[in-house]
Structure 1
Amino acid sequence: MSTNTARPRFSPSPCVIGDTRDRLALESRNNDWMPIIQCPADFPPQVFDVAVSQLIHHPEYNSTLILRSETLVDTSSDFPASIPHFDGFRPVRNIHRRLLPRRPGRDAGLEQHCTLYAPTNGDDDSPIVLVLTPIPEAGASLPYYHPTVHHLAFRYIVAETPLLRIELVPLAGTPTDLNSRIYRTCLALLDTLHRYGWGAVTNYKKRILHDRVIAREEYQDLYLVMRERHRHLVNTWQEVTDPLKHVFEDIGIATFLVLLWKHTFGSQSYACTSSNASEDPECEPWRSWPRPPAGFLDLGCGNGLLTHILTTEGYDGHGIDVRARTSWSHYPESTQARLHVESLDPSGPIVEHPFLRHGVFIIANHADELTPWTPVLSTLVSASGYLSIPCCTWAFDAKYERTNTPDYPTPNDNFIDGLNLGGDGSNASSYSRYRIWLASLSLHCGWQVECEALRIPSTRNWAIIGRRRTTQDTEELEEIRRRVEDIVVHVRERGLFKTRTPEGKAKDH
C-alpha cells in the first residue's frame, strides 16, 4: 500500500454503560470491567501486535510527563499472578516495564505489566488484546501521569465491522463520564492506537530519526542531571529572549557534546582532582571522561551560555562573538575569561589564531555566515571535529541560493537519504537543499558526515557532525587540504566576504 494513502477518519464513540456485548469476560469476580470508548478498526487484526508495540515501548509519545520506559522482563511463559485472566483469551506475552518520569523530583517512577492476549481457540499466538496493569509500591498512589485504574485494556474486536475498544477497571471513586480526565485520556490513547495501526498498514516510516549518534537512554539520563545543575539560570536570565527555550536548549546541546566527546575521544582520560572537581562532595563522572585534545571553540557564541555550561563542567574552551552580550558580565569570572569579542575572518590567515589550533573541536550553533566555514576551518587547522547546527542559509560570502552557489558532488542517493532531513522526502525546500549542500561540502572537506536531530526545544535542531576523516592516507589528506585551500582562495578573489566589525573593545572579556 502506498505510504501516501490518507489515514481514514478517526471516528470515536463512547461505549454505552451497562452494555455487555463483546465485553471482556473475566474469570475473577472481583474485577468489573467497564467499556469506555471505541472506533472502527481500519486495519486487520494481524497488525494489532505492531500497533501496540509502539504503545508499550514508547509511552513518552503519549505523555510529556514520561521520559521513557525500560523493559525489565520480557517473557512468553511464567506469567505473573497479578495479571487478569479472561474467558476466551490466553496470555501469550508479558512485558514487565518501568516508566521513568521526565521530572523525577516531582513524579515517581512506576512499574507496569503489559500483557498481550490471543484467542483461546486455535494455536495462533497473534494478540488482539493488550492489558496494562500498574504495580504501585505498597501504600503508594499512582503517579499523576498514569490513569487511576487497576487495569486498562486495548482490544481489537473481530466483527463484520471490526472495532478498537478501550476498557478498564477503575480505582474506587474514579469518574468515568464524558467530561472526566480518564475519558479524555482514553480518547487520546484510542486515537494513538488508530494512528499506529494505520501507519503499520501503510509501512509508515519516521522521516526524522533521533538518537542515531548518541543512545537515547544515555542522553536522557545525563540531561536530567545537567538540567538540575543549571536550571537556576532561568531565574537569572539577562537577555530579552525566552529563558526557558534558550537555557534548556543549551543544556541539551552541552549534554550531547559531552557524550559525543566521550565516545569520540575514548582513548583519553582525565583524572578528577580537587582543582577541577565541583562543589559537590563526589566528583561527577563526566569530569574524567575523554574530551577534545585542544579544547573547544564556540563560534558566534552569542549569549555565551553554552560556553558557560561546558566550562563550568570542567571542559576547556572559549567562545567568540562580534559583541559582548548582557549575560557575559553576569557570569562568574572563570566564564568571563573564556568569552572574547572578536571578528573572525575565515578567508584570511588563521595560522596564528590562539583558539583555532590543531586538535580543537569547533562548535557552530546558529553561527550564521560562519556556518559553511566550519568544515573548511576544521580541515585547515586539523581540528579534532566539529558540530554545526545551521539556521540561516549562508554560503561563503552571500546568502545560499541553489541557482548560483556551486554544488559539491554527493556519492549517491543513499548519502542524501542518510542525512535525516525530515519533511515529505522531496527535499524541495530551500532549507533541505541547504543542508544537503552543507553535507556535501563537509564530505568535500574530507569529513565523514553524521547527522542528528537533537532533542532540544528548537525547530532548527538538525546537527551535522564531523569527527572522523574520510581517509588517513597522508597523500589523500594533502590533496583534500589543497582543494579546501582553493575554496578560500576563490572567496578571497571574489572579494565579497565582509568581516563583521567587533562592537566594543576587543579582548575585554
Structure 2
Amino acid sequence: MNALGAFTVHNTVMDLPIRLKPKEALVPKPTLSNAASDGSTFTPPEAIGERFSPFDLATAPKIPCGLPPEVWTIVQSAPACFPPQYFLDVSRNLLENPNLTASHLARAELSYQSFADPTFNPEATTSGDLASIVKHLRPECQPRLVESGVDGFELQWTVVRKLIPRNPKLDSALMQTCHLFTSARDVTITNSNGKEEEAAAERYLVVYIPNVESPEEIPFYHPTVRSLCILYTYFPSHAPDSMLPSPGILSIHFDFFPSHPLDNRLERTALMLLQIIHKHSKGRQAGYKKRVHHDQIIPQKRFQDTYAYLKGKYAKTLIEGWVEQTPPEKHVFEDLGIAAFLIELWVNMYGGEQGIENQEVQRCNAQKTFPGFVDIGCGNGLLIYILKEEGWSGWGFDARRRKTWTTFPQEHADSLVEMLLVPRVLLPDAAAPDDNVVRNSPPSHNGVLPQHTFIISNHADELTPWTPLLASLSDSPFIAIPCCSHDFGGTRFRSPVHKKYIVEDPNATGKEKNKQPSAYAGLCSWVCHLTERMGYDGEKEHLRIPSTRNIAILGRTRKSGLDGKTLEERLQFAREVVEKEMGGATTVEQILLTWMRSGGELVKPGKGGH
C-alpha cells in the first residue's frame, strides 16, 4: 500500500491507480426544484465552476502549491467543479496529444514513461536514480527533476516526451520532462481579507520542464519559461458556506527565466491552457466520447512525418504557381495530405515485411512491386504530379482539361488525359460499341484497367459510386473519398442510407439520437455498401486533410464473390447491381443515355465535374 493510504482514483486512459488517503464521499450535486411556489418554472442557477471564468488574482483565494514562491509565480487560476479523475484523464491524454493546446504541434513522442517501469523510484534525488534505464538514455532524453522540490507532495509518474512541430522547417522539436505529483495533506486557504481556513484537500500537480539550458533554445510554440505546472486542488468536503466558491481550483504557475519576465503573451498562453484543461475535463465528466477516430490504418507518426516532408518540398512552389480560380492553399494542402496517406498505404501494401527497420528500403521495395495507379476524375492533376514526383507510377483522366495541367513538367502532363468514363458495364456490346450516342461522344475510357491497378477516386463525384464496381472488374484495390452524391446515371440525388455503416454519435441525447444522418454520411454509407456488395472487405479512415469531406473508403482485400469469374461474368454481376441500385425499373440502356447526357454537360467550358 502507498504511504498516502488506500483511497484510489483511477486514471481511465490507462487505468493506472493513484492512491490517496481516505476522504469523505464526493460532495453530491445540489438538487433544485424545477417549479417555483407559484407554479411557474425556472432554470436552476449554474454552479460556479461549471463554465470557465478565471479569478482576479488580487481577490482569488490563495492555496499553497508546494512550490517555493520565490521561484514559482501563479499566473492564472479559475474555479472548477469536476472530480479529480477527469483532470488526470485529460493530463494523461495531453501527454501524447499536445496539439490540443498548441496548433503549431503535430504530436508528442514518448521517449521514457514510468507507468510500467518496475524500477521507477519516486523518491529519487537525482535523475540517474529515477529508473535503471535512465543512464542508458541519450542526455537530451534523460528526465529532469524539479530542482526546488515539491513540499508535501509525492511523485506518481514521470514522462519524457519529444514535442513534434507541424512545420519542422519553421520550428524545432523540443524534449520535455513531465511529472505528476499528488498530495492529500490538509491545506490552509487564505482569502483576500487575510482570513484563513483549514480544509481537507486533494492536490494534483503536473509539472512540465523543457530540457533546455537557455531561453533561446525554446521554440515559438512553447512558453518561454524554465518550467510550468498545472495544479488542481479538490476539496471533497466542500460546503456552501466555505470561503471557496467551488469544490475545485485550477491554477497555473511559471518558473521564469530572469531575462524573460511575465508578459502579455505568457498571460494569454496560461489562460488558454487553463481554459482547455477545464473544457476537456468538463467534457469527460459529462460523458463525452470521441466520435471521430483518426489513424486507424496508417499510424499518426508515419503520416505526419511524410506529410511534413511533402509540405516542405512542394507547398510553397505549388501555391505560388497556382493558376486556377480556386483557393490554392486548400487544394495544395489537401492533396499533399492525401498523397502522404497513399504513399504510406502503398508502402504497407507493397513493401514486404513490416519489420524492415529502414523505411527507405521498404519504400523502394514497394515501388518495385507497385502495379501502378489511375486517378479517375483527377481534376487539377495535382495529386498525380506529387505521387509521380515521389516515384509512384500512374496516370489519370478527367472529363475536362484544367489550366493546372500546363504548369507541370511534360513527363507529368502526359499522364493527364482528357476523356470521359463510359463504363463498359453500361455497354450492351462492349467489344464493338456501335450505339450512336457512344460513337459520337468525346474520347472515353471504358473503366476496364490492367489487373490490380490501384484506383484513386478523390472527390470524383459522378464516378464515386462506380469506383467499387470498376475495381471489381480488374480485381483492383481502391480508395474512394466521396464528396457529392450522384446516382449511376450521373444525376445528383440523395444517397440511400445504409445504417449498418453509420457510426452513431456517442454523445447524442434525446431527439438527437433519432436524427437522420447527413447527406454526406448517407453517401459514405452507400459507398461502403457498394464496396461490400462487390466482395471487398471495406475499411474506413478519417483523413487528416483540411476538408469536411475527409472520409476515405478503402477496398484492399476481397473476401468473397467474384474470385475465378471471367470478365463477362463480372460485368454481368455489376450490371445487376447497377439496375438494382437504380430502382429495378431502369434498364442499363436507359442509364447509359442518362450517363452520356451528364457527360456532355461536364465537358462544357466553365463546368466542374469528375
> Do Structure 1 and Structure 2 share a fold, with TM-score over 0.5?
yes
Instruction: Specify the code of the residue in structure 1 equivalent to 2:51.
Output: R
Instruction: Specify the code of the residue in structure 1 equivalent to 2:58.
Output: V
Give the distance between the partners of 2:448 and 2:573, measured in 1 at CA. Answer: 23
Structure 1 position 127, deviation (Å): 6.9
Does 2:89 align with 1:12? no
2:64 — aligned with what?
23
Does 2:494 align with 1:394? no
- More displaced 10-residue stretch of structure 1: 77-86 or 151-160: 77-86
Does 2:102 align with 1:102? no
SS at match of 1:497: helix
Give the distance between the partners of 1:306 and 1:449, measured in 2 at CA. Answer: 23
Give the distance between the partners of 2:219 and 2:212, measured in 1 at CA. Answer: 9
Does 2:141 align with 1:141? no
Give the distance between the partners of 2:471 and 2:461, measured in 1 at CA. Answer: 17
Distance 1:319 1:480, change over 3 A: closer
Does 2:233 align with 1:157? yes
Structure 1 position 471, deviation (Å): 2.6
Give the distance between the partners of 1:427 and 1:342, measured in 2 at CA. Answer: 38
Alignment of 1:438-457 (within 5 A): 438-457=527-546
Does 2:400 align with 1:317? no
Picking from 335, 338, 349, the partner of 1:264 is 349
1:497 — aligned with what?
595
Picking from 408, 417, 420, the partner of 2:503 is 417
Picking from 85, 101, 108, the partner of 1:46 is 85
Deviations 1:293-352 (A, max 9, x none): 531111111111111111111111111011111111121111011010101112435788
SS at match of 1:26: coil
Give the distance between the partners of 1:443 and 1:292, measured in 2 at CA. Answer: 26
Distance 1:355 1:15, change over 3 A: farther
Distance 1:171 1:137, change over 3 A: closer
Picking from 297, 308, 332, the partner of 1:224 is 308
Give the distance between the partners of 1:268 and 1:357, measured in 2 at CA. Answer: 25
Structure 1 position 82, deviation (Å): 3.0
2:575 — aligned with what?
485
Instruction: Specify the code of the residue in structure 2 equivalent to 1:380.
Output: L
1:62 — aligned with what?
101
- More displaced 10-residue stretch of structure 1: 139-148 or 74-83: 74-83
Instruction: Specify the code of the residue in structure 2 equivalent to 1:15.
Output: L
Count of residues paired in the alignment? 472
Instruction: Specify the code of the residue in structure 1 equivalent to 2:57.
Output: C
Alignment of 1:99-498 (within 5 A): 99-119=163-183, 128-136=204-212, 140-159=216-235, 160=238, 161=246, 162-176=248-262, 180-231=264-315, 232-267=317-352, 286-290=363-367, 293-346=370-423, 347-349=425-427, 353=446, 356-383=449-476, 385-397=477-489, 398-401=491-494, 412=500, 415-417=501-503, 426=515, 428-471=517-560, 474=563, 482-488=572-578, 492-495=588-591, 496-498=594-596
Give the distance between the partners of 2:566 and 2:255, measured in 1 at CA. Answer: 67
Give the distance between the partners of 1:202 and 1:382, measured in 2 at CA. Answer: 47
Deviations 1:28-77 (A, max 9, x none): x8x52211222222211233211211222211111121121111111242
Could you tell me whether the CA contact under 8 Å between 1:419 and 1:451 is conserved in 2?
no
Give the distance between the partners of 2:310 and 2:144, measured in 1 at CA. Answer: 40
SS at match of 1:228: helix
Could you tell me whether the CA contact under 8 Å between 1:453 and 1:461 is conserved in 2?
yes
Give the distance between the partners of 1:418 and 1:216, measured in 2 at CA. Answer: 24
Distance 1:428 1:194, change over 3 A: same
Give the distance between the partners of 1:305 and 1:38, measured in 2 at CA. Answer: 49
Structure 1 position 285, deviation (Å): 6.5
The TM-score normalised by the length of structure 1 is 0.83
Give the distance between the partners of 1:237 and 1:452, measured in 2 at CA. Answer: 29
Give the distance between the partners of 1:99 and 1:294, measured in 2 at CA. Answer: 37
Distance 1:197 1:358, change over 3 A: same
Give the distance between the partners of 1:419 and 1:441, measured in 2 at CA. Answer: 23
Instruction: Specify the code of the residue in structure 2 equivalent to 1:348.
Output: L
Could you tell me whether the CA contact under 8 Å between 1:73 and 1:95 is conserved in 2?
yes
Give the distance between the partners of 1:293 and 1:157, measured in 2 at CA. Answer: 57
Could you tell me whether the CA contact under 8 Å between 1:287 and 1:314 is conserved in 2?
no
Amino-acid identity (%): 33
Distance 1:285 1:468, change over 3 A: closer
Deviations 1:217-256 (A, max 9, x none): 0111111111122122111112121111111211111111
Instruction: Specify the code of the residue in structure 1 equivalent to 2:552.
Output: A
Q: CA RMSD in A?
A: 3.4
Structure 1 position 366, deviation (Å): 0.9
Give the distance between the partners of 1:388 and 1:73, measured in 2 at CA. Answer: 39
Deviations 1:125-145 (A, max 9, x none): x97110111111568431111
Instruction: Specify the code of the residue in structure 2 equivalent to 1:323.
Output: R
Could you tell me whether the CA contact under 8 Å between 1:156 and 1:164 is conserved in 2?
yes
Could you tell me whether the CA contact under 8 Å between 2:169 and 2:312 is conserved in 1?
no
Distance 1:168 1:57, change over 3 A: same
Structure 1 position 481, deviation (Å): 6.5
Distance 1:254 1:153, change over 3 A: same
Instruction: Specify the code of the residue in structure 1 equivalent to 2:399.
Output: V
Uncovered stretches (5+) of structure 2, i.e. residues with no partner: 1-45, 115-119, 122-128, 131-142, 187-201, 239-245, 355-359, 432-444, 580-585, 606-610
Structure 1 position 436, deviation (Å): 1.2
SS at match of 1:449: strand
Deviations 1:274-306 (A, max 9, x none): xxxxxxxxx897344257753111111111111
SS at match of 2:595: coil
SS at match of 1:289: helix
